[in-house]
Amino acid sequence: MARKSGKPKAKTEEQPESPEPGHEARGTPGFEIVAREDFSDVTFLLEVRHPAMAKAARPGQFVIVITHEHGERIPLTIADFDRDRGTVTLVIQAVGKTTKEMQQICRVGTALHGVVGPMGLPSHIGDAKKVICVGGGLGVAPVYPQARAFKEGGAYVIGVVGFRNKDLVFWEDKFRACCDELIICSDDGSVGIKGLVTKGIEAAIDKHPDIDEVVAIGPPVMMKACAEATRPHDIKTMVSLNPIMVDGTGMCGGCRVKVGGKVMFACVDGPDFDGHDVDFDDLMNRLRRFVSEEKRAMEKWQENCKRLNQEPYTPDTVAERGGSGSAAAGTGRPS
């Protein structure tokens, strides 16, 4: 059960402290946000106190978050977990109503209405000798625990991370710490190599003909491109899918995806699948399911913000960033 860890951390990991899911059925105090860091005007990090989950979480798993009582249940991949601090870290991109609202209201000291998980099958960290861990945009965060786990398993890890431009880069230090090589790609060439992450993958494959496995996490279109980039080389490519879901426990079937011609539920059969078998076009179509509703929710929310005289979010409105932000950035690993 314990993560492969270089240092003996047995003391903390095997303490028979009982898990503390930590709140009652009703009148819930929720799950406290202990740190927040804004990487850019759309991307931010929340560190949430949940000791039991920090203990149970493994790379590749996700959580379902409910912001407030009227909120929806949204799946977010666990970007990091710290068993000593008893926290899990989520990196969120503010794109829709719920995530923009989270960006506005989730401050240090406030609480999320619900956080449940870890969900999904953990990534299989096999005995690959040489791997490429690819993260594009928001996928940069969730690929990090996998890169770290491979490193701890003794693999040679090549990180490939892609951003639109230099200003959006985050966690470079964390990746440098666990990757033997790090290739940064940017759309405009302002940092690293100019181009998409597939360019980085090709560069890595050219240099290392003996890659055993590629892990790619990001938007579906990026994962599809990565799978196509590795297919000619016949390198196993795992992707982490992010379909629409409600409960995350296998009950609604909203997250069904086609993999190798079979229907799978991403929440319990995944979220990791072999990228060469995934029907990405099907996934992308299903992600468009609520386009008009999303637009309606967004308009209504913006109107409400205006009426309540709330500033539309800018990074400066998060006054209490200061200390907590740097704490999050320096989150110590348990090993």
Contacts to another protein by CB under 8 A: 16, 18-19, 21, 23-25, 28, 52-53, 56, 61, 66-67, 70-73, 97-98, 113-119, 121, 246-254, 256, 258, 263, 265, 268-269, 282, 285-286, 288-290, 293-294, 296-297, 300-301
Least separation in angstroms between CB 25 and another protein: 4
Cβ distance to another protein smaller for residue 102 or 229: 102
- Write down the least CB distance from residue 271 to another protein, Å: 13
281 Cβ contact partners less than 8 Å away, ≥ 6 residues apart: none
Q: Which is nearer to another protein, 49 or 151 (CB)?
A: 49
Q: Which is nearer to another protein, 219 or 254 (CB)?
A: 254
Using the minimum distance from each CB to another protein, give the nearer residue, 191 or 252: 252
Distance between start and end Cα atoms, the chain: 16
Cβ distance 132 to 106 under 8 Å? no
Give the nearest distance from C-beta 53 to another protein in angstroms.
Answer: 6
Q: How far, in Å, CA of 33 to CA of 48, rounded?
A: 4
Question: Rounded to the nearest whole angstrom, what is the least distance from the CB of residue 45 to another protein in the complex?
Answer: 21
Report the residue number, 111 or 185, with the smaller CB distance to another protein. Answer: 111
Q: Residue 290 CB: number of other CB atoms within 10 A?
A: 12
Assign 177 to helix, strand or coil.
helix
The nearest distance, CB 71 to another protein, in angstroms, is: 5
Which CB, 27 or 209, lies closer to another protein? 27
In the structure, how many helices (H) and strands (E) does the chain have? 11, 16
What residues contact 246, with CB distance under 8 A and at least 6 apart?
73, 252, 254
| Cβ-contact 132, 108 below 8 angstroms | no
Query: 228: part of which helix (H) or strand (E)?
Result: helix 220-230
| Min dist. Cβ of residue 116 to another protein (A) | 4
